[in-house]
């Protein structure tokens, strides 16, 4: 009897343990400690902030440049992206260049400069040169003078992103960067004047 009782008690404990495990919410629905510190990956606008124009970057030919080299007499459209991106970055740039800039009577370099800076340190000058050629073709004609695709060190790019209010973080699980979609427009003196968020930009905007 004692042996039977012990077996029944053990069986009850095992069943109770299994029930409690099965009743627990799946891992995906349980709050993770890491999620508590997750950033809000949307723009944190800093209108009126002055971009760090002395920041050193690398242009498409592999030459060292300063961000301020592209701030002369025309407004600057500043896009933070990365060239390995297979989602937001390419869509944003294509909408901006092919659907918007190509549809309005503005000349690159004369009326604006477009400066795209990669947030991925794996992107190099050769990648930037290919990207420039690809997107310049969307404008048609010999209109690549005002398009610039730059790369740089993690510290340099992070400095620019922090002033813009552009949070980003690399996710090794998907080998991709989490970041907001859109761009900023800055005055010729480097002061941020406007944020345009999202991937679909109309010529009117």
Q: What is the pLDDT of residues 130-184, one digit of tens each?
A: 999 999 998 876 667 899 999 999 999 999 999 999 999 999 999 999 999 999 9
Q: Decide: 163 and 51 in contact? Cβ < 8 Å.
A: yes
d(CA 110, CA 146): 8
* pLDDT at site 22: 31
d(CA 52, CA 55): 6
Tens digits of per-residue pLDDT, 63-110? 999 999 999 999 999 999 999 888 889 889 998 998 899 888 888 889
Exposure on the CB side of residue 120, measured as CA atoms within 13 A? 21
Residues 6+ apart with CB under 8 A from 195: 43, 45, 47, 182, 183, 184
């Amino acid at each position: 009897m004692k042996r039977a009782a012990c077996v029944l008690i053990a069986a009850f404990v095992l069943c109770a343990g299994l029930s409690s495990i099965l009743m627990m919410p799946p891992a995906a629905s349980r709050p993770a400690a890491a999620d508590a510190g997750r950033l809000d990956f949307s723009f944190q606008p800093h209108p009126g902030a002055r971009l760090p124009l002395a920041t050193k970057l690398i242009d498409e030919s592999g030459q060292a440049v300063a961000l301020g080299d592209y701030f002369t007499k025309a407004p600057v459209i500043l896009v933070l992206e990365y060239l390995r991106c297979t989602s937001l970055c390419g869509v944003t740039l294509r909408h901006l260049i092919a659907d918007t800039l190509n549809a309005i009577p503005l000349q690159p370099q004369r009326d604006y400069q477009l400066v795209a800076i990669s947030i991925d340190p794996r992107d190099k000058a050769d990648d930037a040169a290919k990207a420039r050629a690809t997107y310049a073709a969307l404008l048609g004609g010999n209109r690549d003078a005002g398009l610039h695709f730059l790369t740089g060190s993690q510290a340099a790019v992070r400095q620019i992103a922090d002033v813009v209010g552009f949070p980003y973080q690399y996710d090794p699980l998907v080998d991709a960067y989490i970041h907001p979609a859109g761009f900023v427009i800055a005055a010729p003196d480097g002061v941020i004047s406007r944020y345009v968020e999202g991937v679909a930009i109309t010529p009117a905007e």
